[in-house]
């Protein structure tokens, strides 16, 4: 008998979520930022009076909510971020034989996904960690997660910034279709607060921490009745831009001393963290993503009315409204494009997966939704899912 080629077609069996126990409201974040501004302005009062330094301006909670839709964010270490003398999370380095923090978050998300799919580690062949920032160069965090879960097989790390989850999904789908594996966990652990400059008024409110996981498996192996999702199609795209950039990397060590680096860079500390031209990102990425979604829908023969839900990347509420409007030709109803960034902020690659995780149960068999990411690179990914 000829094997059915569609048998290997991958499905999304389940997602998992790890949410940190601590959170910071806009008000708490702004209070800490403004206290730091006051200290800074006082310390530089002479230069400000002489006109050689600009006074720093206060941040504002109403501005943050209006500009981004963010009200609060979950974080791995609240005290370190809000400490005016520090303003960065305190996440001490663990011993090499302890599970590292990124892997620990990833393992929790994987266990959640496995439980929801009715699977154990024995059913999984591979782990792909796809996220914006990796804790170390090697060994791969994915291999550490593989070991902690007890998965036989292999793992590797990949990074496409905010689009890492959809790119990871595309890789998993291709590998399953081609016979490299039968079941793959795609994991997105994001400690965004450790690459955020909490002293930058334009961006100090943007990010939060979280981890998500997606179990992708052969369609003919998926448990009936567990609500798996057919992956109708995945598309990925990149276009080089410096408008979102982070220069942290191992070659910085070869730049010489910190003082030598400082002599060349206005603010070396800031240069090694996230920075962006937010307005330009907005202008460039909205049309790029809307065009990509519409093109992919046409390719799959899907009309606007066929797509019941948009699980969009969660960076900015206004951006998501505009993308939904361009795709649908009207404003989206709240349930059509669910928002999670109000509580989670931008969680980089994990954002669209959290939106899916929290807002998919009500879709019926046969209904279609879109998982969509976009961000640094620029990068964008679209994955159409149909409930089984």
Pick 30 or 370: Cβ nearer ligand COA: 30
First vs last C-alpha separation in the chain: 26
What is the closest distance, in whole angstroms, from the C-beta atom of residue 230 to ligand COA in the complex? 29
**119/340 Cα distance (integer angstroms):** 27
Give yes or no for residue 29 binding ligand COA (CB under 6 A).
no
Site for ligand COA in 217-256 (CB under 6 A): 244
- Of the candidates 88, 108, 107, 289, which has an alpha carbon nearest to the alpha carbon of residue 192? 88
Closest CA to 214 of 256, 279, 168: 168
Q: Is 312 helix (H, G, I), strand (E, B) or coil?
A: strand
User: Closest CB to ligand COA belongs to which residue?
Assistant: 278
> Is residue 72 at the binding interface for ligand COA, with CB under 6 A as the rule?
no
Angstrom distance (rounded) from CA 60 to CA 2: 65
Which residues, 190 to 219, sit near ligand COA by CB under 6 A? 201-202
Contact flag: residue 281 with ligand COA (CB under 6 A): yes
Rounded CA separation 111/106 (Å): 9
Question: Which among 250-258, 302-310, 313-321, 350-358 is the span making contact with ligand COA, rule CB under 6 A?
Answer: 313-321
In angstroms, give the least distance from the CB of 316 to ligand COA: 3
Query: Which residue of 22, 28, 63, 300 would you call a contact of ligand COA, by CB under 6 A?
Result: 63
Minimal distance, residue 12 CB to ligand COA, in Å: 23
State yes or no: cis peptide before 155, omega within 30 of 0.
Answer: no
CB of 172 to ligand COA, least distance (A): 22
| Dihedrals phi, psi of 319, to nearest 5 degrees | -60, -45
Q: Does residue number 60 form part of the binding site for ligand COA (CB under 6 A)? A: yes
Instruction: Answer whether the bond into residue 315 is a cis peptide, omega within 30°.
Output: no
Matching residue, tokens 């998965």: 151
Residue 32 binds ligand COA, judged by CB under 6 A: no
- Helix axes of 26-43 and 61-68: crossing angle, nearest 10 degrees: 120
Burial of 367 per CB tally in 10 Å (0-12, 13-18, 19+)? middle
Contact call for residue 282 and ligand COA (CB under 6 A): yes
How large is the C-alpha radius of gyration of the chain?
22
Q: Is 68 an interacting residue with respect to ligand COA (CB under 6 A)?
A: yes
Query: Any contact of residue 373 with ligand COA (CB under 6 A)?
Result: no
Judged by CB under 6 A, does residue 14 bind ligand COA? no
For ligand COA, the closer of residues 146 and 320 by Cβ is: 320
Please, what is the minimum distance in Å from the beta carbon of residue 132 to ligand COA?
A: 8
188 in contact with ligand COA (CB under 6 A): no
For residue 276, what are the β-bridge partners?
244
What's the rounded Cα separation, in Å, for the pair 149 and 128?
13
Consecutive H or E run containing 286: helix 278-299
Q: Name which of residues 336 to 365 contact ligand COA (CB under 6 A).
A: 346
**Where in the sequence numbering do the catalytic residues fall?**
162
Which of 26, 100, 193, 276 contacts ligand COA by CB under 6 A? 276
279 sits near ligand COA (criterion: CB under 6 A): yes
Q: Which of 129, 131, 162, 385 binds ligand COA (CB under 6 A)?
A: 162
Contact between 59 and ligand COA per CB under 6 A: yes
> Cβ 326 to ligand COA, closest distance in Å?
16
CB of 166 to ligand COA, least distance (A): 14
The piece of 39-47, 59-67, 287-295, 332-340 that touches ligand COA (CB under 6 A) is 59-67
The residue behind tokens 């939060």 is 208
- The three-state secondary structure class of 204 is coil
Contact status: 40 vs ligand COA (CB under 6 A): no
Gap between the Cα atoms of 180 and 101, Å rounded: 29
Residue by residue, what is the 3-state secondary structure of 219-255?
HHHCCCCCCCEEEEEEEEEECCCCCEECCCCHHHHHH
Q: How far is the CB of 309 from ligand COA (least distance, A)?
A: 21
Interface contacts to ligand COA, rule CB under 6 A = 59-60, 63-64, 67-68, 162, 201-202, 244, 276, 278-279, 281-282, 315-316, 319, 346, 375-376
């Amino acid at each position: 008998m000829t094997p059915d080629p569609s048998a290997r077609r991958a499905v999304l069996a389940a997602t998992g979520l790890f949410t940190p126990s601590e959170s910071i409201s806009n008000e708490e974040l702004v209070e800490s930022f403004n206290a730091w501004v006051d200290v800074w302005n006082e310390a530089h009062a002479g230069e400000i009076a002489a006109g050689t330094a600009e006074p720093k301006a206060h941040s504002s909670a109403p501005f943050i909510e209006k500009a981004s839709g963010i009200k609060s964010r979950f974080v791995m270490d609240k005290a370190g971020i809000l400490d005016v003398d520090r303003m960065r999370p305190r996440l001490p380095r663990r011993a090499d034989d302890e599970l590292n923090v990124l892997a620990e978050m990833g393992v929790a998300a994987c266990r959640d996904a496995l439980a929801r799919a009715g699977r154990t580690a024995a059913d999984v062949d591979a782990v792909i960690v796809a996220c914006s920032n990796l804790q170390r160069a090697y060994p791969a965090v994915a291999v550490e997660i593989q070991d902690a879960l007890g998965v036989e097989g292999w793992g590797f790390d990949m990074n496409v910034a905010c689009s890492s989850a959809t790119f990871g999904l595309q890789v998993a789908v291709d590998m399953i279709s081609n016979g490299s594996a039968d079941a793959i966990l795609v994991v997105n652990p994001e400690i965004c607060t450790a690459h955020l400059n909490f002293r930058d008024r334009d961006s100090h409110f943007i990010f939060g921490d979280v981890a998500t996981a997606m179990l992708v498996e052969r369609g003919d192996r998926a448990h009936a009745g567990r609500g798996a999702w057919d992956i109708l199609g995945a598309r990925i795209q990149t276009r080089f831009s410096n408008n979102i950039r982070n220069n942290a990397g191992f070659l910085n060590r070869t730049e010489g001393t910190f003082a030598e680096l400082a002599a060349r860079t206005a603010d070396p500390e800031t240069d090694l963290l996230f920075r962006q031209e937010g307005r330009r990102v907005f202008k460039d990425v909205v049309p790029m993503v809307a065009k990509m979604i519409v093109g992919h829908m046409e390719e799959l023969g899907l009309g606007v009315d066929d797509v019941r839900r948009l699980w969009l990347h969660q960076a900015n509420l206004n951006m998501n409204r505009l993308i939904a409007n361009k795709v649908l030709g009207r404003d989206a109803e709240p349930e059509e494009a669910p928002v999670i960034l109000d509580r989670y902020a931008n969680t980089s690659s994990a954002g669209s997966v959290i939106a899916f995780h929290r807002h998919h149960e009500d879709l019926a068999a046969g209904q279609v939704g879109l998982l969509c990411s976009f961000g640094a690179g620029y990068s964008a990914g679209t994955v159409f899912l149909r409930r089984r």
